[in-house]
Amino acid sequence: MAVYVDADACPVKDEVYRVARRHGIRVFVVANSGMFTPREEAIEMVVVRGGFDAADDWIATRIAPGDVVVTADIPLADRCLKAGARAISPRGDAFSEDSIGEALATRALLDMLRQSGEIVGGPSAFSKTDRSRFLSKLDEVLHAIQRRGS
């Protein structure tokens, strides 16, 4: 079991490290450029050079059942679910086979509305409540995986 962090814009990396340490789980921090990560054997910084989706492709080709990805990227979450892994957003929303279709459709609709000028701006600011919800959800998912063994 490992946790993969889609790290370029992830606001909860420190929380991932804390929870992973508690569970004794390896963490892959995947980004398009280097960034600070704790110097620990269980935490690996992976810099992926290449195109726009290079980090996503790196994660999607390595993730396996029993692994967890932390990402706000809905198409990446979909790819990881199809590989049998779990996916959690930095706001603490767990993606599932039941919810991913709606999430993809909502993403496409909002993208279309942004391109047409109907909507400007992005998501609301990241809050302490989001951070707390993420911590709880990641811990819950890791406990569930460890109990089931998958």
Per DSSP, the residues of 127-138 read -HHHHHHHHHHH
pLDDT for residue 143: 94
User: Above 60 in pLDDT, residue 150?
Assistant: no
pLDDT in tens, 40-80: 999 999 999 887 789 999 999 999 999 999 999 989 999 99
- The residues spanned by each domain of the chain are 2-148
Calculate mean pLDDT across residues 13-41: 96
Give the residue-averaged pLDDT of 108-131. Answer: 77
**pLDDT higher than threshold 80 for residue 22:** yes
Q: At 97, which helix (H) or strand (E)?
A: helix 97-115
CATH of 2-148, one of 2.60.120, 3.40.50, 1.20.120, 3.90.550: 3.40.50
pLDDT band at 97 (very low <50, low <70, confident <90, very high): confident
